[in-house]
């Protein structure tokens, strides 16, 4: 592959430029949330790169740092007319350099698995996106509360078992974004599950959906979907190893529509995947 030597520059995105990446993600068919850019940027303002050719954006990538040990790559997009010209690998390498020394994860399209392996990524598991329609609302448990009413430190502590590092800045923005509903289940004074549903370019996505067991996950699913109009398009991204998550999707009439490969450069994180019924987002983990 011959790298082009034109006036190509890679820089950290501004908050406004991040919207370019999110818009391109929509063009790729990834159906981002209406307000994703603000929450993404809150996670790590230095973790979003843009490549410009003759001062025109042609490539994007996110490389977000979490805590001291983990990073996540997403939004890796090169404008179609500039693919296979070396611009993508340059911004890719810059992203990995930013995350050097960390275990790095990504949710990549299956067709790119072999390319990611060349950069040291190993397949951990598949993720399956289920699609369906919201149904008529059902009774909501009295234990269901708004996440904003809970102690944020308790939420962060609970979330830690589902993610390789703490992610306070992202989480605060995520549960308070416009066009979303964020709910938790409290049992005996303790959080036993929580979930978020947000408006997307098409329909609504549920993510995360984390709970101590399948019954609680179903309660959360029902409570979240009761907040959107019946007949709305719904999406739930499930980790394939959690068969109970797939059961929740199928019980609600959802069918597989897309899949990704969760991969890591280091050891697979010790997280409670059996309690992850819906992944937060393919872009940021």
pLDDT per residue as tens digits for the range 167-196 = 999 999 999 999 999 999 999 999 999 999
- Domain residue spans of the chain: 8-106, 129-278
pLDDT band at 136 (very low <50, low <70, confident <90, very high): confident
Residue 23 phi/psi, 5-degree rounding, is -65, -40
Selection from 205, 246, 239 nearest residue 225 by Cα: 205
In the three-class reduction of DSSP (H, G, I as helix; E, B as strand; rest coil), residue 143 is classed as coil
Residue 251 parent element (H or E): helix 243-251
Using CA atoms, how far residue 260 sits from 57, 100, 123, 172, 178, in Å, is 26, 24, 10, 26, 27
How large is the average pLDDT for residues 198-224? 97
CATH superfamily of 8-106: Gcn5-related N-acetyltransferase (GNAT) (3.40.630.30)
pTM of the predicted model over 0.85? yes
Q: Is 40 helix (H, G, I), strand (E, B) or coil?
A: helix
What is the residue whose two structure tokens read 């068919």?
Answer: 29
> What local confidence, expressed as pLDDT, does residue 123 receive?
96
pLDDT tens-digit series, residues 56-115:
999 999 999 999 999 999 999 999 999 999 999 999 999 999 999 999 999 998 888 899
Residue given tokens 């959080």 in the structure block: 191
Q: What is the topology classification, in CATH, of domain 129-278?
A: Aminopeptidase (3.40.630)
**Alpha carbon separation from 117 to 21, 124, 273 (Å, rounded):** 24, 12, 23
Give the whole-angstrom CA distance, residue 199 versus residue 78.
26
* Residue count of the chain: 285
């Amino acid at each position: 592959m011959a790298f082009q030597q034109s006036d190509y520059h890679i820089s950290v995105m501004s908050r406004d430029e991040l919207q370019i990446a999110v818009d391109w993600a929509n063009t790729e068919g990834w159906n981002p949330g209406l307000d994703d850019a603000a929450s993404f940027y809150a996670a790590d303002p230095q973790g979003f790169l843009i490549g410009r050719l003759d001062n025109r954006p042609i490539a994007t990538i996110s490389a977000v740092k979490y805590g001291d040990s983990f990073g996540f790559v997403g939004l890796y997009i090169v404008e179609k007319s500039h693919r296979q010209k070396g611009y993508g690998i340059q911004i890719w390498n810059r992203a990995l350099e930013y995350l050097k020394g960390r275990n790095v994860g990504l949710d990549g399209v299956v067709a790119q698995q072999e390319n990611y392996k060349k950069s040291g990524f190993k397949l951990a598991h598949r993720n399956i996106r289920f699609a369906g329609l919201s149904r008529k609302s059902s009774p909501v448990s009295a234990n269901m509360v708004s996440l904003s009413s809970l102690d944020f430190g308790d939420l962060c502590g609970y979330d830690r078992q589902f993610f390789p590092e703490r992610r306070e800045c992202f989480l605060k923005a995520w549960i308070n974004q416009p066009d979303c509903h964020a709910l938790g289940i409290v049992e005996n004074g303790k959080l036993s599950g929580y979930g978020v549903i947000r408006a997307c370019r098409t329909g609504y996505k549920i993510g995360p959906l984390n709970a101590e067991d399948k019954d609680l996950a179903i309660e959360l699913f029902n409570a979240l979907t009761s907040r959107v109009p019946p007949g709305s398009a719904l999406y739930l991204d499930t980790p394939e190893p959690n068969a109970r998550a797939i059961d929740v999707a199928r019980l609600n009439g959802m069918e597989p529509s897309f899949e990704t490969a969760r991969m890591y450069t280091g050891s697979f994180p010790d997280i409670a995947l059996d309690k992850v019924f819906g992944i937060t987002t393919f872009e940021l983990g």
